[in-house]
Amino acid sequence: MPGTIKQIAEMAGVSRGTVDRVLNHRGKVDQDVARKVERIAQELGYLTKTQRKAAEKGEVIALAVRKRIGVVTQLAGASFMAEVMRGIQEASQKAALHGVEVIVRECAGVDGEAQVRQIRALEELGIDGLVIMPVDCETVRGCLNRLTQEKRVPVLTFNTDIVGVEKLAFVGMDNRRSGRAAAGLLAMLMGGRGRVLGIVGNFLNSAGMQRMEGFSAELRESFPDMELAGVQPSYDRTEEVEAILRQAAEAFPDLGGILLVSGGQAGIRKADSLWNGRRPRVVLYDATPKNAALLREGCADFLIDQDGYTQGYAAVSRMLDKLRWDQDPEKPELYTKIDIRTKYTCG
C-alpha cells in the first residue's frame, strides 16, 4: 500500500500541513525540509490526488518544471539502443512527477564533435545535470570538464565511460570483466588453444575497447595457447564485418574463434561459407531480436547481454536523486549484470 501524509509527516518529523504544502506546492517550505519530505514520499510510493487520478487513467501528470536533465547518447540507430531508450523514457516519466524535465539528444554515430554540439545546445536550454554516453576523446573531455568545473553541472556517464572527467557516477556493464568472460567462453569452446580474432565497432567507443582489453588480458593470463590474431574496427556496419571476415578467412584459414563487440552482427552469417562449413566459434554482444535470431540459426555460440533497460533507467534515476534530493550514488560505479545466453535461453 502507498504511504500516507501522516506516515510521511512522522518519518520526516514535520506536521501534516508541511507535507501537504511540499507535495502540493502550496506555499514556501525550507529547501532541506522539502527535499526530505519528497524523498520519503517517493520511498513510500505516495501519490497526490491529481497523480492518483492520472495513474488510474494511465496518464502521467508532470509538475511544473523546476530542474532539467540533459541526456546525450551515441549510436542512436543501433538495435541495442531500443532497450536503453525504453529505460530512459520510463525514468523520464518518473522525473516528471517530481518537476524534473528530461531532454534527450541522440547522436547517430561515435562522433565527438556531434556530442559537443548537443551538449552546448542543452546548455543553452539550461540543464542542471547531464547524463551522457561519452565518446572518449579530447573534444568531449574538454567540454565536460568545462561543464563540471565552470558551470558546476554534475555529469553522470552510462554505457560508455571517459577518463579525466569528474563524474557523479558511471552506470553500465563492467566491460573489462565481461571481456574476460568472453575469453573464458571461447576457451571452453576451443579447448583452450587456437587463434582468435576481435572485431570492435569503433576505437573511440570505450565500452568496446574495454571489453577487448579484458578479453586480451584473460587470454594472456589464463590461456597461453590461445593467440589474439588482431582487433579490427567495423564501424558498426554489416558490410564491414563481412569484409573483415573475408580477409580473415584468407589470412587465417585455421581461425578458431571470433569475439564480435560491434554492431553489424548480421555480417557473421557469411562465416560458415568462408570457412568451408567449419566456421570459427563466435561470441557476440546484446540480446536484440536480430542477435537472438543469429543464435537460433547457429551463426553464433554465445551472446553476452548488458541489460540496456537498466542502464537507461538507472542513469536518469541517479541524476534525479542528485538534483531533487542532493543524494549522491552510494558507489561510483553501478554495474549491470553480465547475462550470458545461448540459443536455448535467448527468447
C-alpha cell at 34: 522539502
User: In this predicted model, what pLDDT tens digit does every residue of 166-215 receive, in sequence order?
Assistant: 999 999 999 999 999 999 999 999 999 999 999 999 999 999 999 999 99
pLDDT confidence of 51, banded at 50, 70, 90? Answer: low
Q: pLDDT-derived band of residue 346, with 50, 70 and 90 as boundaries?
A: confident
Max distance between CA atoms of the chain, in angstroms, equals 77
Residue corresponding to grid cell 580473415: 248
334-344: pLDDT as tens digits: 999 999 999 99
Q: Indicate if the pLDDT at residue 59 is higher than 60.
A: no
The pLDDT of 212-241, averaged and rounded, is: 97
Q: Is 9 left (phi over 0), alpha (psi -120 to 50) or beta?
A: alpha
- 307-327 per-position pLDDT tens digit: 999 999 999 999 999 998 888
CA 105/CA 119 separation, integer angstroms:
8
| Residue 219, C-alpha cell as written in the block | 587470454
DSSP conformation class of 308: H
The pTM for the full model equals 0.82
Query: How crowded is residue 262: how many other Cβ atoms within 10 Å of its Cβ?
Result: 28
Give CA–CA dist 253/241, Å, rounded.
17
Backbone Cα Rg of the chain: 23
Helix residue ranges, H only, the chain:
5-12, 16-24, 31-44, 49-56, 81-96, 112-125, 138-149, 175-190, 206-222, 238-251, 271-274, 289-296, 308-325
Give residue 21's pLDDT band: very low, low, confident or very high (50, 70, 90): confident
pLDDT value of residue 2: 65
Which cell numbers in the block locate residue 327?
Answer: 543524494
pLDDT in tens, 75-122: 999 999 999 999 999 999 989 888 899 999 999 999 999 999 999 999
pLDDT value at 27 more than 90 = no
C-beta of residue 65 within 8 angstroms of C-beta of residue 291: no
Residue corresponding to grid cell 510510493? 45
Query: Rounded to an integer, what distance in angstroms lies between the CA atom of residue 91 and that of residue 323?
Result: 14
